[in-house]
Amino acid sequence: MSAFALALVLAAAFAHAAWNYLAKKICGGTPFVWMMAVMSAIIYAPVAAWIYHTYQPAVGLPQLGLIAGTAVLHAIYFVLLDKGYQIGDLSVIYPLARGTGPLLAMLAAILLLGERPSWLAIAGGLAIGAGILVLTGNPAKLGDPANRRPVIFAILCGTVVAAYTIWDKVAVSTFLIPPLLYDWAANLGRVLILTPAALRDKDGIREQWRRNKLPIAGVAVLSPLAYILVLTAMVFSPVSYIAPAREISILIGTLAGTHILHEGNAGPRLAAAGVMVAGLVALALG
């Protein structure tokens, strides 16, 4: 991976951790997710229009299908993530959601596709699993629904992350959809998907606007920016290099949860996050 691609991915990691920190503080349910998508669509519309006018990319049924698919996947992701943050700590939900995707992808490749990863990749997967066990705490406590539900939401988020990472790689590298235009169009699709549910809670929308309009604007800027930077790097770099490099955000997000939000258990959680990052690097190199 080139130095430019690495710079893009590291900038994306900081932006990603920052918007997750804001999302944890807001925890506004569907009204928040919808308002964030609306504001993103408005903020990035001029740049998306300029890109379309300048490059005039092909827009046919395959491209529209890819945009619709990622809109659905990202809508599911944001709803699951917000729900996870409502019931769990940032320093637990964030690393679990970011780290389980590559692990699940490796397991699926072994069980369903008959792939045989190297010992280094297997060691990386085991390291991720060890980090997950430390983050979730005493396994016996998972029998309690209150302890189990945040973990379930985080793992579901990781599953969706694995799905949309591969989907979007195809969109920007095979079908050559400009990353910012692709993300903007997918975000607009997310607005359409969530509008019926959001409008059923108009009081919630008004309350979120009154209390959190500036943090929501921050998420609206940083969330697309983080992923646009990653998609840009994907255009000229292998996803197997990009995916683990961007997971440095796991350490940043865990630090934000333990030291800014004072969620506790800083030592074990940071150690677990570090082990997961090392595992992700081994998984990619293997």
Burial, 239: exposed, middle or buried (Cβ in 10 Å; 0-12, 13-18, 19+)?
middle
Res 249: pLDDT:
86
d(CA 218, CA 33): 13
Sign of the torsion formed by the C-alpha atoms of 134, 230, 110 and 121: negative
Can you list the residues of the chain whose pLDDT is less than 70?
A: 1, 105-106, 108-109, 112-113, 115, 136-144, 146, 239-241, 243-244, 284, 286
Res 138: pLDDT:
58
Domain span at residue 174 reads 3-285
Res 207: pLDDT:
94
Res 276: pLDDT:
81
The DSSP secondary structure of 159-215, one letter per residue, reads HHHHHHHHHHHHHHHTS---HHHHHHHHHHHHHHHHHHHHHTTHHHHHHHHHHHHHH
Res 239: pLDDT:
65
Q: Domain tally for the chain?
A: 1
Of residues 180, 271, 260, 268, the one with CA closest to residue 17:
260
Distance of CA 233 to the CA centre of its chain: 16
- Cβ distance 79 to 200 under 8 Å? no
d(CA 187, CA 38): 8
pLDDT in tens, 24-37: 999 999 999 999 99
pTM metric for this prediction: 0.85
b/e code 221-235 from CB counts within 10 Å (16+ = b): bbbbbbbbbbbbbbe
- Cβ distance 225 to 40 under 8 Å? no
